[in-house]
Structure 1
Amino acid sequence: MARTVARVIVDALSELGVRQVFGVVGDALNPLTDAIRTTDDVEWVGCRHEEAAAFAASAQSQLTDRLGVCMGTVGPGSVHLLNGLYDAAKSRTPVLAIAGQVPLSELGSDSFQEIDNDLLFRDVAVFRATITDPDQLPQLLETAVRNALGRKGVAVLTVPGDIGDRELHADRPARFSLTTPTTRPEASAVRRAADLLDHADRITLLVGQGARAARGDVLALADRLAAPMVLTLKAKEGFEGDNHFQVGQTGLIGNPAAAGAMQTADTLLLLGTDFPYRDWYPEGRTVIQVDTEPAHIGRRVPVDIGLVGDVGATARDLLDHLAAEPGELGDLGGARDRGHLEEARERFLGWRKDQARLADPTHDRGLVGKVRSALDNREHGIRPEALAAAVDRSATDDAIFTSDTGMATVWLSRFVEMRGARRLLGSYNLGSMANAMPQALGAQYLDRDRQVVAFCGDGGLSMLLGDLMTLRTYRLPVKLVVFDNRRLGMVKLEQEQAGLPEFGTVLDNPDFAAVATAIGITGIRVTDPGDLDDAVRRAFATPGPVLLDVLTNPDEIAVPAKPTVEQGWGFAVAKVKELLRSHGDETHH
Structure 2
Amino acid sequence: MFENKAGSYVIDLLKEWGVDHIYGMPGDSINEFMEELRKEDAIRFIQIRHEETGALAASAYSKLTGKIGVCMSIAGPGAVHLQNGLYDAQKDKTPVLAIVGQVSSTSVGTDTFQELKLESMFEDVAVYNRSVQSAEQLPDMLNQAIRTAYAEKGPAVLIVSDDLFAEKIKRDLPLTSSAYAIPKIRAAEDDLQEGARLIQAAKKPVILAGKGARGAEAELLAFAEKIKAPIIASLPAKGIIPDDHPQNLGQLGQLGTKPSEEAMKEADLLILAGTAFPYRDYLPDNAPAIQIDIEPRVIGKYYPVTVGIVGNLGPAISWFTTQADEKETDFLEKYMQKRKVWRAEMQNDMDKETPVLQPQHVLAEVQQIMEKDAVISLDVGSVTIWTARYLQLSGQSLVVSAWLATMGCSLPGAIAAKLAYPERQVIGLIGDGGFSMGMQDFVTAVKYNLPMTLVVFNNQKIQLIEHEQEQKGNPATNVEIANIDFAALAAACGGIGYTAKNRVELKEALAKAKKSNKPVVIDAYVEDISPLE
| Counterpart mapping for 1:500-519 below 5 A | 500-519=474-493
Give the secondary-structure state (helix, strand or coil) at the position aligned to 2:442: helix
Q: Does residue 191 of structure 2 align to residue 189 of structure 1?
A: yes
Task: Provide the residue aligned with 2:353 in structure 1.
Answer: 363
Q: Which of 441, 444, 448 is the aligned partner of 2:422?
A: 448
Deviation at 1:415, TM superposition (A): 1.9
Provide the alpha-carbon RMSD of the alignment: 1.4
Shift of 1:176: 1.4
TM value normalised by structure 1: 0.88
User: Greater Rg, structure 1 or structure 2?
Assistant: 1
- The answer to whether residue 239 in structure 2 is matched with residue 273 in structure 1 is no
Q: Is 1:170 the equivalent of 2:171?
A: yes
Letter in 1 for 2:297: A
Counterparts of 1:100-119 in structure 2, within 5 Å, are 100-119=101-120
| Cα distance, 1:267 vs structure 2 | 1.0
Looking at structure 1, the residues matched to 414 and 334 of structure 2 have their Cα atoms a distance apart, in angstroms, of 38
Give runs of aligned pairs for residues 283-432 of structure 1, distance below 5 A: 283-322=285-324, 324=325, 335-360=326-351, 362-364=352-354, 380-420=355-395, 422-432=396-406
Question: Given the alignment of the two structures, is residue 224 of structure 1 paired with residue 226 of structure 2, yes or no?
Answer: yes
1:493 has 2:467 as partner: yes
Post-superposition offset of 1:503:
1.0
- Deviation, structure 1 residue 540: 1.7
Deviation at 1:171, TM superposition (A): 5.0
- Structure 1 residue 211 and structure 2 residue 201: aligned? no
* Letter aligned with residue 489 of structure 1: Q
The 2-side partners of 1:501 and 1:555 are apart by 16
Deviation, 1:284, is: 1.1
Task: Quote the Cα distance in structure 2 between the aligned partners of 1:515 and 1:451.
Answer: 22
Unaligned runs of at least 5 residues, structure 2: none
Question: Which whole-Å CA distance do the structure 1 matches of 2:122 and 2:278 have between them?
Answer: 24
Query: What is the CA–CA distance in structure 2 between the aligned matches of 1:172 and 1:470, rounded to whole Å?
Result: 41
Match of 2:458 in 1: 484
Question: Is contact 2:6-2:169 (8 Å) kept?
Answer: yes
Q: Structure 1 residue 242: deviation in Å? A: 4.7
**CA apart distance, 1:430:** 0.5
Give the Å deviation of 1:185.
Answer: 2.1
Q: One-letter code of the match for 1:139? A: D
The CA deviation at 1:237 is 2.2
- For 1:554, the equivalent position in structure 2 comes to 528
**Residue pairs, 1:250-261, within 5 angstroms:** 250-261=252-263
Q: Using the alignment, how far apart are the partners of 2:248 and 2:503 within structure 1?
A: 31
Q: SS of 2:240's equivalent?
A: helix
**Is the CA contact 1:485–1:552 (under 8 Å) kept in the aligned structure 2?**
yes
Identity level (%): 36
Alignment correspondent of 1:248: 250
Work out the CA distance in 2 between the residues paired with 1:124 and 1:81: 11
Relative distance call for 1:445 and 1:508 in structure 2 (3 A) is same
Deviations 1:151-194 (A, max 9, x none): 11111111102211001133556621111122122211211111
Spell out, residue by residue over 1:1-37, the C-alpha distance to the aligned partner (whole angstroms, 9 max, x if none): 4111211111111121111100110011111111111
Across the two proteins, how many residue pairs are aligned to each other?
531
* Per-residue deviation, residues 520-565 of structure 1 (Å, max 9, x unmatched): 1100001123422222222222221000000011124434xxxxxx
SS in 1 for 2:167: coil
- 1:424 partner amino acid: L
Q: Which residue of 1 aligns with 2:20?
A: 19
Q: In 1, Cα distance between the equivalents of 2:46 and 2:173?
A: 28
Kindly indicate whether residue 60 of structure 2 is the aligned counterpart of residue 59 of structure 1. yes
Deviations 1:203-261 (A, max 9, x none): 11111111121111111211121100011111112212452311101100001011011
Query: Is residue 467–residue 530 contact of structure 2 (8 Å, CA) maintained in 1?
Result: no
Distance 1:490 1:242 in 2: 28
- TM (norm. structure 2) is 0.97
* Cα pair 1:51 1:82 within 8 Å, conserved: yes
Give the whole-Å Cα distance in 1 for the aligned partners of 2:61 and 2:531: 34
- Tell me, in whole angstroms, the C-alpha distance in 2 between the residues paired with 1:443 and 1:31: 29
Deviations 1:370-411 (A, max 9, x none): xxxxxxxxxx43100010111011111111011111111112
The question of whether the paired residues in 1 share the 8 Å contact of 2:378 and 2:428 is answered with: yes
Structure 2 counterpart of 1:120: 121
Equivalent position to 2:494, from 516, 520, 534:
520
SS in 1 for 2:157: strand
Kept in 1, the 8 Å contact 2:99–2:158? The answer is yes
Q: Does 1:543 align with 2:533?
A: no
In 1: Cα distance, 2:197 partner to 2:362 partner: 47
Q: Unmatched 5+ residue regions in structure 1?
A: 325-334, 365-379, 560-589
Counterpart for residue 237 of structure 2: 235
